Amino acid sequence: MNAQGYVRRQGIAVAKSSGLVLGCVQKLNQKHQFIQEYKISSDAIASEVERLSVGITKAVKQLRQEINDLADVDASGELKLILETHNMMLQDPELMQQTACLIQKECINAEWALKKSLSQITQVFEQIEDVYLRSRKADIEHIGERIFEQLAGIHQQQQYEQAIMVAQDFSPMDIVDMWRAGVSGFVSIQGGENSHAMIVARGIGLPGIAGLQEDFFNWIEDGQSLILNAEEGRWVLHPNKQDLKQFEQEKQALQFKQTRLQDYVNKPSVSQDGYNMPLMANIEFIEEIDVAQQQGVDGIGLFRTEFLFMQHEMLPSETMQQMYYQQVIQGMQGKPVTFRLLDVAIDKIKVTDAMNPIFEGENPALGLRGVRMLLQHKTLLKEQLRAIVAASGDAPVSILVPMVTMASEMVDVRQVLNEVCQDIGFTGKVCLGCMIEVPAAALVADTLAQVSDFFSIGSNDLVQYSLAVDRTDEHVSYLYDAGHPAVMQLLQMTVDAAQKHNIPVSVCGELAANPAWLHTFLTMGITSLSMSARHVLQMREQLHHLRAFS
């Protein structure tokens, strides 16, 4: 035990991003609400209690409106009865008094005090023997969510600098939101090394680990100290003096490494014997561009356009898309940019309500996605192509087509692209590339190379589709092996076809950032790599020490 009486615990995670952080635990509920926790001065107690009162009042008003709206649609009256119960709980003076008392005694903000009050109430419910009454603790959680939402609207101050968020799972958008809010790090109980959320975290440099034992969520409490070593996937709960000393030593070593790598920011991406291999960045959203430029990337090898679509309730207009793409191009200051056309899949984003009719299906990952969806909804395809072409001007812009399995798909997209260029009077050059991420595409790579300007091997999906392994599932992640003979044959077939028809071929994804694969890529004849921006300098350093022709 440490000085606070806590039991020290440590362990290894299945997945990791990068970075080292010492912070305080903050558990998130199922809705991933970021519940702020911080101390307040004695002078701020009265205003904080008033803020709590206003938050509860607004929650009651919102709930009353919902009850009134149900008058014509809730024939059975069951839902109304549930909401009436919630309304009674919200207006229980004991909730307000108990929470206000915690604010006054502990000098803490309203959210933290409310969280403590609700926890005490739910503990009482959990001890009730009657099964039905015990199940009513869910009602407590629901009314808490309502008040938290109102408090968030009243007070927007962000105090996450020392927070390490802990939840069962995080979506890619959760990772982005936490990064924007200034969160120090995160722990996801679920998740694998190649989950999309972990890939995003590595790209933006948010320290995090995933794939921990379920008991971890039960061990921890808000405010407890936690060390995350996202470089090695290690964690320590309630660190002792020796742990803290080791943390400082590891942090210094990491800073030394980062300082050394800075020497390669402005150096060319060439091997020891002069083989030029541009090291590009995979980008999810505009804010990453500054990070990429600081890492000295040679361009954007893959800009995923899904995030623009997922951040709006309605499909973004062509004008909105054009402005967005222009920002990306301008941010890269003349360096090449490759935009991947909209590719929505179950492991990438949660589609908006406006897009649900398009993406319904029992297995969206193998259903109407990528080029299949775009060719069936050509208005969407034309708008996105027009927006990219109009935004490009004379910049070095390329377009990548996802989920291709046959040459006719590339021919159809190119026809639409030509029509768009003619319609807007564009006479410049926009290269159209094929993403090789399905085994079928690699097997017909020779045919695809005849109708494509370049290839981009989507290593993450190619491996998982080839081996029938869900890369996000920690139970089978040990089977996810890019070195499997079947995968190696598909890679070589793709490169051979590209070389035969004299088109560039890049590797995109986590495999591109693996130092152990760099020499293989050189000898195979891969022309560029695209990866999370924060891996670029490490790969460039290694590239300078390797020879391509020996």
Three-state secondary-structure class, residue 464: helix
Calpha distance 518→512 (Å, rounded): 8
Best CA proximity match to 184, nearest among 22, 39, 28, 34 = 22
Calpha distance 179→500 (Å, rounded): 44
Length of the chain as a residue count: 550
Catalytic residues: 196, 508
Both structure tokens of 26: 């903050």
Q: Give the tens place of pLDDT for each residue, 227-271.
A: 999 988 899 998 999 999 999 999 999 999 999 999 999 999 999
* Residue for token pair 């995979």: 282
Calpha distance 217→195 (Å, rounded): 20
Query: DSSP class of residue 455?
Result: E
Calpha distance 538→258 (Å, rounded): 9
Q: Compute the C-alpha angle 129/132/133, nearest 5°.
A: 65
Domains, the chain = 9-29+160-257 (3.50.30.10), 42-154 (1.10.274.10), 266-543 (3.20.20.60)
**Quick one: pLDDT band at residue 364, thresholds 50, 70, 90?**
low
Three-state secondary-structure class, residue 191: coil
Q: With residue 207 as reference, give the H or E element that holds it.
A: none
Winning range, highest mean pLDDT, from 10-19, 50-59, 166-175: 50-59
Best CA proximity match to 355, nearest among 375, 371, 369, 372 = 369
**Quick one: pLDDT band at residue 441, thresholds 50, 70, 90?**
very high
Both structure tokens of 11: 């362990």
Q: Give the tens place of pLDDT for each residue, 383-408.
A: 999 999 999 988 999 999 999 999 99
Cα distances (angstroms) measured from residue 288 to each of 99, 126, 180, 303, 320: 40, 45, 11, 10, 19
pLDDT for 479: 86
Best CA proximity match to 177, nearest among 333, 31, 346 = 31
Q: Give the tens place of pLDDT for each residue, 166-194.
A: 988 887 778 877 887 788 899 988 877 76
Checking if the pLDDT of 431 tops 90, the result is: yes
Phi first, then psi: give them for residue 234, nearest 5 degrees: -100, 155
Calpha distance 199→29 (Å, rounded): 23
Residues 167/51, Cβ–Cβ less than 8 Å: no
Phi-psi category of residue 447: left, alpha or beta, with phi > 0 → left and psi -120 to 50 → alpha: alpha
Q: Give the tens place of pLDDT for each residue, 281-318.
A: 999 888 789 889 999 999 999 999 988 887 665 688 89
Checking if the pLDDT of 468 tops 70, the result is: yes
Q: Compute the C-alpha angle 352/356/360, nearest 5°.
A: 140
Transcribe 5-54 into DSSP letters.
SPPPEEEE-SEE-S-EEEEEEEE--TT-------B--GGGHHHHHHHHHH
Calpha distance 24→15 (Å, rounded): 20
Residues 373/344, Cβ–Cβ less than 8 Å: yes
Diameter of the chain measured on Cα atoms = 79
